[in-house]
Every structure is written in structure tokens, then in C-alpha cells.
Amino acid sequence: MGRLFGTDGVRGVANADLTAEMALGLSVAAAHVLAEAGTFAGHRPTAVVGRDPRASGEFLEAAVVAGLASAGVDVLRVGVLPTPAVAHLTGVLGADLGVMLSASHNAMPDNGIKFFARGGHKLADELEDRIEAVYEEHRTGAPWDRPTGGGVGRVRDHGEGFDTYVAHLVGVLPNRLDGLKIVLDEAHGAASQVSPEAFRRAGAEVVTIGAEPDGLNINDGCGSTHLAQLKAAVVEHGAALGIAHDGDADRCLAVDHTGDEVDGDQILAVLALGMRERDALRSDTVVATVMSNLGFKLAMEREGIRLVQTAVGDRYVLEEMKENGFALGGEQSGHVIVLDHATTGDGTLTGLLLAARVAQTGRPLRELASVMQRLPQVLINVPDVDKSRVETSAELATAVGEAESELGETGRVLLRPSGTEPLVRVMVEAADIDQARSVAGRLADAVKSALG
């Protein structure tokens, strides 16, 4: 069996890959592993549990809550809230564990489970590995040691989490958003109520789309993976900018007043300059992944800001930030981490800070984002291949070497297995879009040939 935990928790088709039995078992295993690690020492443990609006989240939440309570953990059920809200509440409520049920930007049939440690930080890899091992051990027959009587966990709803989180978001802004009209695309997801409320409290005039979740329409033709509706709405309403979230609102992409996309790299660039201006960019450093556009790296060099690059995945960005005390990091996909105010990527916070920079400077987002010029970048997802052999295939190594020789210093190639889906991502950057497409197409064919 392959590793259950990917780069962003356990994820799969709900009720097929990710079943109620698995959700319950993983929750019990997490409780036992954290107890072994001393997290619960000397007190009765508490967990915060939240979810996005997917229909499957209803039964999976019930399974997680049952598992935790059966293991002696008290549960605060916060309902439908963004992933970063669950992380924040885990910290401010002093909980020992946070659990979020979401498959983020994935299609509705998928769901996922993500665990947060005390303080709202993602669990370390070694703890995830231990949870998986304990889960497997008990799934195959070893009985759990279960509390009885007053030792079982108690469950209650914590409706105050919504206001606690919104107040936090608005409270950390450097300035208000008065005078800005903003279109918000909530992807029919977890931020459908939180995000509009936060922007309004911060002073913006808000137009919402994709903010009517019914459990089945999450990410369906809307949100950060489908920007067409947002682009049209921004132009139609004459808005200053548009903000798009994904299903669990841990990421943010933007649209300028002309309807052009502003991606995660550009958002990072705008925020980095703003934070440096107010002495909030520690060590004048920003952290990003190897997927960041070469244009972002060149812009940061030109502005005198140091760029530290990590492996793909916001958890690796976060590890680098925590280890070295950096304040800002993120991914091209729109996962942006502002460590002074959040323990994970927070799409609503990112959108608010981006809008605050527009309001503070009086400059259009289009002008602010022009600090960097994106080099043409082509990304091809190659499904149904053995992604575990990306690093070991000699045939693939030869194809990559030939591509790199062709591109020279004016571009680059990156092949990587997806951490959340069964596919290999082929990324090619070049000064010329036709060359990027040509090279990427050949490499995608090589991946199919070598790994198919």
C-alpha cells in the first residue's frame, strides 16, 4: 500500500477511497499517537473539527467526531469554515488537535482529512507516518484501548468560531479598504460567508459570485481553478479587482480591473514590496517553490529582495519560513503564508492584504502587479502513469537533458509527481511561448512512454 498522507493530508474519492471507516480509524489513530507523544499529558484533550460544504463532509465529519470522542478527546465542532480558520481556532482555543475535512480545489466527489497540531500548525511528517502505521496496525485486527464512562470525549458545537476568525482577519490589516469595489468568487466553498463578511467589515463594497454552496457545486466552473466568471464579473461591475478562492479558501488568485489574471507569484511580489515598506518583511526575504515563474525571481533580484526556493508544497514553504524566521512565502497557485498572522495559507487574508495594498497606494492592481513580468510557462498534467519512477527512469532523464540543452539559460524544465493526484506535472518555461509549448509537448510524450 502507498503512503496515505500526501503533501496536503489524506485525499481521495469520498466513500470509495476515503470511507467513513477510514476517517474514524485515522482519527482514533491520531488521538493515540498524540497521546503517546505527550501532547495530551496532564489534561483532558480537545480537538477542533471543521469542514467545507461538500455533501460527503457531513458523514465524514460524523465519523471523525465519533473517532475522536471514542478515544477520549473532547470535540469543538466549528462547522463549515475555511482550512485556515480551523488552523487559527486550533491555536487561539488552545486545542491539542485540529481536523479539517476538505479536498481543497479538487472536484466535488473527492474529500480529504487534514490534521493540525497544537498551535494550528501542520503535523510533522514523522507524526503523519506514525498515525498511518498505527491506523494500519489496528485496521488489521489489534483492538483499541478505549475509555469508558466519564472518560469518553464530549462533543459540542462552537458557533463563535466564525466571528472569532473574521475579527482576526480584519484586525491584522494595515489599513482599511474604503472606496474599493471588489468581486469575490467563493467557489461555492468554505469561505462563502466568511470572506464577504470580512471584506465588508474592512470597508469594501462587495459583489459575490460562487457563494451559494449546496454541497454539490463546490469548485464547479468557479473559484481559483476557473477564473472566467470572475474576470467577466470584474469588468461588468467596474470593480477595482476580483479575488478567487478555492473550495477550502487556503489559496487566493486575483483579477485586475481589466479582467487579467494576477497569479500567486505576482501577489507575492506585491505583498513583499508592501511588507518591506512597513518593515514587516523580515530579512528582506520571501520564500517560494521551484514552480515559481523565473520572472518572479528576476523581479525580486531587481528589487533587492532575497528569494529562497523550496520543494513544491506549501508545507515545505512553511517549514523554511519557521526554521529561519521569514515572514512571507507562498506558491504560484495562490497559497500565500503570512506567518505573523496565519499558520498556513489563508486565501481570505491574502485577498484582504492585496486589496489593502491597492487602497493604501491608490495604484491599480494591474500597475502593482507589473513589478514582475511572467515568462511564458506551459504546464501539462500527464495522468495514468507510474509517478513513483520519475526520478529513476533513464529514458526520462535523457529527454529532460535534451530539453534543457535546447532551452539553455533562457528557460527551464521541471518534472514532478503530484502530491495530491495520480499524475506527473510537466512544466516548461521559455522566452518564447511556442518553444515552451513544443518542449512541454515532447516531454509529456516522453513521460507517457517512459512511465505509462
Q: Which residues in 367-422 belong to E strands, given as ranges?
A: 377-383, 412-417
What distance in Å separates the CA atoms of residue 410 and residue 435, rounded to the nearest whole number?
A: 11
* 261: Cα within 13 Å, side-chain hemisphere: 17
Q: What torsion do the CA atoms of 293, 296, 298, 302 make, to the nearest 10 degrees?
A: 180
What is the CATH T-level fold of the domain 163-369, as seen in this structure? Alpha-D-Glucose-1,6-Bisphosphate; Chain A, domain 3 (3.40.120)
What distance in Å separates the CA atoms of residue 95 and residue 153, rounded to the nearest whole number?
A: 14
Q: Looking up cell 514523522, which residue turns up? A: 126
Q: Are 174 and 271 in contact (CB under 8 A)?
A: no
Amino acid at 219: N
| Binding site residue list for Mg(2+) | 104, 246, 248, 250
Q: Are 39 and 76 in contact (CB under 8 A)?
A: no
C-alpha cell at 77: 465542532
Q: Which residue positions in the chain have pLDDT lower than 70?
A: 1-2
Domains 5-159 and 377-451 share a fold: no
Residue ranges of domains in the chain: 5-159, 163-369, 377-451
Tell me, what's the pLDDT at 1?
A: 43
| Binding site residue list | 104, 246, 248, 250
- Homologous superfamily of domain range 5-159: Alpha-D-Glucose-1,6-Bisphosphate, subunit A, domain 3 (3.40.120.10)
C-alpha cell at 318: 512553511
CATH number of 377-451: 3.30.310.50
- C-alpha distance from residue 236 to each of 226, 232, 233 (Å): 17, 6, 5
Tell me, what's the pLDDT at 126?
A: 92
List active site positions.
104
Report the predicted TM-score, pTM, of the whole model to 2 decimal places. Answer: 0.89
What distance in Å separates the CA atoms of residue 290 and residue 287, rounded to the nearest whole number?
A: 10
C-alpha cell at 162: 466564525
Tell me, what's the pLDDT at 2?
A: 55
Cβ burial 216-240 (10 Å sphere, 16+ → b, else e): ebbbeebbbbbbebbbebbeeeebb
